[in-house]
Amino acid sequence: MYDLIRRCIEGDVRAVARLITLLESGDREAYAALYRLKDHAGRAQVIGITGPPGAGKSTLADKLIAQFRSRGLKVGVLAVDPSSPFSGGAILGDRLRMQGHATDPGVFIRSLAARGSLGGISKATHAAIRVLDAAGYDIVLVETVGVGQSEIDIVRVADMVVLVSVPGLGDDIQVIKAGIMEIGDIFVVNKADRDGADRVVREIRAMLELQAQLKRGQTPEGGPDTLAARAPEFLHHTGLAEGWQPKAGNESGAPGEKESITTPKPGVLPEAGTVSAALVNQEAGTISAALIIPPVLKTIAETGDGVKELADAIFSHFETLSRTGELERKRLESIRYQLGQFVSNEIVHLMSLPELAAAQDELAHKVFSRKMDVYSAGIALFHTIIEQGASHEHPQA
Amino acid sequence: MERKIRVLIAKPGLDGHDRGAKVIARALRDAGMEVIYTGLRQTPEQIVSAAIQEDVDVIGLSILSGAHNHLFPRVVELLKQSGAENVLVFGGGVIPEEDIPFLKSKGIAEVFGPGTPTSKTIEFIRANLKRPLN
Amino acid sequence: MTDLEKLEQDFNTWTTKVEKANEKYPERKKQFVTGSNAPVKRVYTPLDQKDFDYEKKLGLPGEFPYTRGVQPTMYRGRLWTMRQYAGFGTAEESNARYKYLLEQGQTGLSVAFDLPTQIGYDSDHPLSEGEVGKVGVAIDSLADMETLFGGIPLDKVSTSMTINAPAAVLLAMYIAVAEKQGVSADKLNGTIQNDILKEYIARGTYIFPPAPSMRLITDIFEYCAKNVPNWNTISISGYHIREAGSTAVQEVAFTLADGIAYVEAAIKAGLDVDEFGPRLSFFFNAHNDLFEEVAKFRAARRVWAHIMRDRFGAKNPKSWMLRFHTQTGGSTLTAQQPDNNIIRVTLQALAAVLGGTQSLHTNSRDEALALPTEEAVRIALRTQQIIAYESGVAETVDPLAGSYYVESLTDRIETEVLQYIKRIDDLGGAVKAIEQGYIQQEIQDSAYAWQMDVEKNERIIVGLNKFQVKENPPKGLLRVDPAVGERQKQKLAALRSSRDQGAVNATLAALRNAARSADNLMFPILEAVKAYATLGEICGVLREEFGEYKPNVMF
Ligand code: B12
Ligand SMILES: Nc1nc2c(ncn2[C@@H]2O[C@H](COP(=O)(O)OP(=O)(O)OP(=O)(O)O)[C@@H](O)[C@H]2O)c(=O)[nH]1
Ligand SMILES: [Mg+2]
């Protein structure tokens, strides 16, 4: 295991691939050894791509890889597809669209089956990200299962989420359901070659503004004079809008954001340290997510139109995230979540050990014969678990 | 926890016959395996690097257009060069019986022709994996 | 009581009686189905044709809606064209095979190209390695095409070329060869397949994305309408869809949906439906379920006639007629006991003839083993000839019409085809449905279901899952000389060094400009071909301008 980890850190592709396999199959030794990666991790920028099935996530990922490569960055991709609920098997189809990068040594693509997880990524995704990070991939793209409404786990593992939608999904924009809207840092309306893309863009923007207003009303920093409310104005005056909005009249014409030029739309917050630094400081000091209104971009993933602008937006958003401390907050939040996950996984694991299974069985019988009630039995079991857990040998030690 | 069997089903060369490959992919999925299908027109290089990144146990090659003698051995060769010999490589399609000894001598574990039940393919994989499942 | 009411009564009594007897002597199966899994009743009667309207549903042969056939006298006038698809190795070898086939009584040529040619790569392209000449003839330039048709007068034969993505280039070469033979383009007869949509769906030799591909196709329509009036500019193909595993209904539905997409594209490009409509031709499959297959052909004609007349407002009856080529179903043929395939092909060929095909390819018994040997091809051709000259089925038109079963099958197929077409219309047409993977997925589902049925012995394939015997490996299979690739590369190198490179560059530059404009691409392609620019060079320019198609695969 030590050797495998060392080779991963050196960027050995086979070792990376093998370690991910071990993590996927829940190998405890492998998880325990992950701590050795810690000095090498934390550098990668983790980008989630999510959205309804067939929205073009993989195609977009394929084109984004090319963008990142042209900027000299190494890219790791984790593409999650659903597992069959019947057989537990899976056909992992995302790679198909990215297979053009298969032989590029600066690109590593790995398909993961969801294996029963419902949140759009698999259990091992978080750990696999850390492995790619440590192996020297500058960017880690995570494509979620295209399941529609519930793939919110991605916010727990990614620094930033690109939410992809498409025109023509029906009367209401599918992605814009409660909850889903919240997770997007950047909104992409893909398949802009189809009718109705502009309408979707407008609707998403309207929703985002509404959302921001609601937040302003609720948060203590709120009020009409906050940065968020004035962000459009800033963008307009500082020209920062260019940072994420594609220029009008690009060659194909299709995904150009003509509209955004005439009516500048809210975008990312001006960075601290630029014109707006004073304002940032003037505010409470921390900038909450509520104040960053996500950009909305149009792309045609199939031809690559608008993808360069998307990559630009991703980078500029990263900068904003780190300047505003938002990145730190998100990562901390994610760690907290992972800790929670780890603990509950650990409890599940402990409960599967024979000693505890026996204890559980015994308690169940007691409840059944009405010697105990289920709640006190539960508490008793919990205490046994805790005791057992403390004495249980952990491979990490 | 038991590892899942991971299989890459690949169509090397320019051959467009994909009915069989897709049937196989689906049958393997329904047998609980995780299958990566790379689509048409794959070079041996693409196939091998996908196999390595995906850490598959098995590569299944499908050719019906007669270019097997050229393309199958190349895949095995490249795997060797990358130090990934523990991947089981086998194949199927329209392949004359008289070519099979040659392909086997080049490291193709087995060749299945027209009419082979998918259950036979599944059994073959389970019986011939080169890496243990746990 | 009307006659029908009386019959209904009798039928019910009869059914009760039969079911009773069934308890003791049950039928072979609980549920009988056709080759495409449609339910089959115990017996068909006038009760199944209650709203039968002869004039509306069938009409007379050669008349709307052409259910009974597109010509008034059908095979009493002229037999179908017997056309065996062939080609392999170099142009010289294929040329010899064509001459042999013509001597054997074949009445039309059908050219199979190798995969590099079909995908627009020259023989010296790295991806062509190992594929040159393997499954068809390798054509790199006009020089190869001159050899391929050497000594074959192009005003005397009709030639079908199975070429799709680069169809414009091969057609241009054909026109150029004819010109060298002193045959003008308006004397040429033949077909190019030129059906890109089914390449995306089922056949796999696509190059460019849908939009520029559709443009190439409509450019050909326009060019041929003016310059090569007797040429069938497209062969809208269900054959490959069926071979990829579809049902009979899906075969017709997806093919006609493709047809609709081509007609719409051409109309959008400013062509008049009656200008190109008569030159559209179709290509279907014939599988083993004789009645279902016959019904399929009849239903296809009826549906297409209505589409052209009612949906597109075509006025010329020739636009309403669905003319088609048929090939027997390769995927029904087994590697086990290959001689049994001769019988399967006989049934299938019979279905095609009873269904009113215009031309026919019969597969060889060694289908599942390798490209056919000369002997196997001869038997396949003889099969057609026996049907034509000995069976008597060609002596009257549409002999199965009026059969309660066949008419019911025809109606059912028509209904289900229309349902599919509606669904595809709702998705935004065939191109959208393909992009979304809908059509492919429907076919894959059918293919998988078929495979599972066979594996569970719910479908019996003689010699495969029943009546097996121990067999020795087949002997005497056709093998393509692996040196073909080298020979072809040498020829190509010689050509590249001997031709006028200036002319090649100039014509390719003109082609590039045309690709960027809205001009008809046939003209610059013809010029490039005549300057001996290679197929790979021409397609290379178009690849750069148009990009390449990325398939959508779904499971
Ligand atoms: C169906 C078919 C087609 C369809 C393909 C549809 C599709 N999307 O797949 C269509 C009509 C489009 C087609 C076209 C052509 N075809 Co074709 N086709 C066939 C046919 C009749 C059946 C193949 C098939 O799908 N069978 C059903 C599936 C389920 O079986 P299978 O693929 O054999 O797979 C089974 C086994 O082989 C095995 N298997 C296959 N792959 C793998 C992989 C692994 C890992 C394993 C374990 C097992 C395995 O398991 C499967 C299940 O039993 C065969 C002849 C035959 N009867 O085999 C010719 C055949 C393969 N075709 C042939 C040719 C030449 C062509 C063309 C190249 C002709 C041309 N010049 O244009 C074209 C071009 C195709 C292209 N783009 O490459 C030749 C190849 C000759 C050769 N090898 O020497 C054949 C042998 C016919 C012949 N005798 O001439 N074809
Ligand atoms: N018209 C159009 N089609 C596109 C565009 N981007 C992707 N597609 C097509 O949409 C289909 C689905 O694309 P994918 O990239 O596989 O979509 P996905 O979101 O990854 O799909 P899942 O992973 O299955 O959820 C494919 O046919 C693509 O070619 C686009 O910009 N325009
Ligand atoms: Mg995807």
**Residue A380: pLDDT band with limits 50, 70, 90:** very high
**Residue C73: pLDDT band with limits 50, 70, 90:** very high
**Residue C422: pLDDT band with limits 50, 70, 90:** very high
Q: From the CA of B42, how many Å to the nearest CA of chain A?
A: 9
- Confidence at residue A264, expressed as pLDDT on a 0 to 100 scale: 33
- Do the bridges between strand C189-192 and strand C231-232 make them parallel or antiparallel, or are there none, so unpaired? parallel
Ligand 2 in contact with C552 (CB < 6 A)? yes
Nearest to C127 among B14, B27, B117 (CB): B14
**Residue A42: pLDDT band with limits 50, 70, 90:** confident
- Confidence at residue A209, expressed as pLDDT on a 0 to 100 scale: 86
User: Which residues in chain C have Cβ-Cβ distances shorter than 8 Å to A59?
Assistant: 550
Domain ranges of chain B: 6-127
Rounded CA-CA distance C510/C525 in Å is 9
Domains in chain A, number: 2
Rounded CA-CA distance C535/C539 in Å is 6
- The reply to whether A56 and A184 lie within a common domain is yes
**Residue B1: pLDDT band with limits 50, 70, 90:** low
**Residue B93: pLDDT band with limits 50, 70, 90:** very high
Largest Cα span, chain A: 78
CB C259 within 8 A of CB C233: no
CB C492 within 8 A of CB C144: no
Ligand 2 in contact with A55 (CB < 6 A)? yes
User: Which residues in chain A have Cβ-Cβ distances shorter than 8 Å to C555?
Assistant: 91, 93
Residues with CB under 5 A from ligand 3 (ion): A 57-58, 94
Return the amino acid letter for A374: V
Q: Any idea what the Cα angle at residue A47 is, between residues A44 and A48, rounded to 5°?
A: 140
Rounded CA-CA distance C35/C295 in Å is 12
Average predicted confidence (pLDDT) for chain C:
96
Q: Which residues pair with A50 in a beta bridge?
A: A163
- Confidence at residue C113, expressed as pLDDT on a 0 to 100 scale: 96
* DSSP string for B66-90: S-HHHHHHHHHHHHHHTT-TTSEEE
Show the tokens assigned to A179: 């909850």
Closest to A247 in 3D by CA, of A165, A313, A201: A313
**Would residue A292 count as lying in a domain?**
yes
Rounded CA-CA distance B60/B110 in Å is 10
Q: Which residue has the higher pLDDT, A342 or C6?
A: C6
Rounded CA-CA distance B111/B98 in Å is 11
- Cβ neighbours for C71, distance < 8 A, ≥ 6 positions apart: C61, C62, C77
Residues in chain C: 555
Roughly how many angstroms between the first and final C-alpha of chain B, as a whole number?
7
- The reply to whether A372 and A244 lie within a common domain is no
The superfamily (CATH) of domain C54-455 is Methylmalonyl-CoA mutase (3.20.20.240)
- Confidence at residue A179, expressed as pLDDT on a 0 to 100 scale: 61
Whole-prediction pTM value? 0.91
Residue closest via CA to ligand 1's atom 22 equals C331
Rounded CA-CA distance A289/A218 in Å is 13
Domain ranges of chain C: 54-455
Nearest to B14 among C116, C368, C444 (CB): C116
Contact B19 C555 (CB under 8 A): no
As a whole number, mean pLDDT of residues C296-323 equals 98
pLDDT at A178 over 70: no
Rounded CA-CA distance A314/A244 in Å is 8
CB A244 within 8 A of CB A297: yes
* DSSP string for C272-296: -HHHHGGGEEEEEEE-S-HHHHHHH
- Confidence at residue A148, expressed as pLDDT on a 0 to 100 scale: 57
CB C495 within 8 A of CB C140: yes
Closest to A235 in 3D by CA, of A267, A206, A260: A267
* Residue ranges with strand state E in C147-276: 158-161, 189-192, 231-232, 234-237
- Confidence at residue A151, expressed as pLDDT on a 0 to 100 scale: 60
**Residue B71: pLDDT band with limits 50, 70, 90:** very high
- What spacing in Å lies between the alpha carbon of A59 and ligand 2's midpoint? 6
Q: Quote the domain boundaries for residue A375.
A: 352-391
**Residue A344: pLDDT band with limits 50, 70, 90:** confident
- Confidence at residue A170, expressed as pLDDT on a 0 to 100 scale: 57
Number of Cβ atoms within 10 Å of the Cβ of A277: 13
pLDDT at A244 over 50: no
Dihedral sign for Cα C257, C259, C261, C264, please.
Answer: negative
Fold of the CATH domain B6-127: Rossmann fold (3.40.50)
Q: Which residue has the higher pLDDT, A254 or A84?
A: A84
Rounded CA-CA distance A305/A253 in Å is 9
Residue of C198, C247, C555 to mutate when probing chain B, most B C-beta within 10 A: C555
Sheet of C234-237: strand order equals C81-82, C359-361, C324-328, C280-286, C234-237
**Would residue A28 count as lying in a domain?**
no
Is residue C28 helix, strand or coil?
coil
> CB-based burial of residue A276 (10 Å sphere; 0-12 exposed, 13-18 middle, 19+ buried)?
buried
**Residue C242: pLDDT band with limits 50, 70, 90:** very high
Q: Which residue has the higher pLDDT, A353 or C69?
A: C69
User: Which residues in chain A have Cβ-Cβ distances shorter than 8 Å to C212?
Assistant: none
Sheet of A90-92: strand order equals A90-92, B34-37, B6-10, B58-63, B88-93, B111-112
- Confidence at residue C15, expressed as pLDDT on a 0 to 100 scale: 97
Number of Cβ atoms within 10 Å of the Cβ of B32: 16
pLDDT tens, residue by residue, C380-390: 999 999 999 99
Q: Which residue has the tokens 């090649």?
A: C504
> CB-based burial of residue B129 (10 Å sphere; 0-12 exposed, 13-18 middle, 19+ buried)?
middle
Backbone angles phi, psi at B97, to 5 degrees: -55, -35
Residues 289-318 of A with CB under 8 A from B: none
pLDDT tens, residue by residue, A212-221: 777 776 554 4
Rounded CA-CA distance A265/C285 in Å is 57
The count of CB pairs under 8 A between chains A and C is: 12
Ligand 2 in contact with A63 (CB < 6 A)? no
CA dihedral A121, A125, A130, A131 (to 10 degrees): -140
Rounded CA-CA distance A314/C449 in Å is 45
pLDDT at A280 over 70: no
Determine which helix (DSSP H) or strand (DSSP E) holds C265, and give its type and residue range: helix C248-268
Ligand 2 in contact with A300 (CB < 6 A)? yes
CB C216 within 8 A of CB C208: yes
- The reply to whether A249 and A305 lie within a common domain is yes
Residue of C208, C441, C445, C550 to mutate when probing chain A, most A C-beta within 10 A: C550
Q: Which residue has the tokens 């939410």?
A: A163
pLDDT tens, residue by residue, C345-369: 999 999 999 999 999 999 999 999 9
pLDDT at A284 over 50: no
Q: From the CA of A350, how many Å to the nearest CA of chain B?
A: 14
- The reply to whether A204 and A261 lie within a common domain is yes
* Residue ranges with strand state E in C98-242: 109-111, 158-161, 189-192, 231-232, 234-237
Ligand 2 closest atom vs CA A79 = 23
Q: Which residue has the tokens 């329509």?
A: C221
Show the tokens assigned to C146: 């001159």
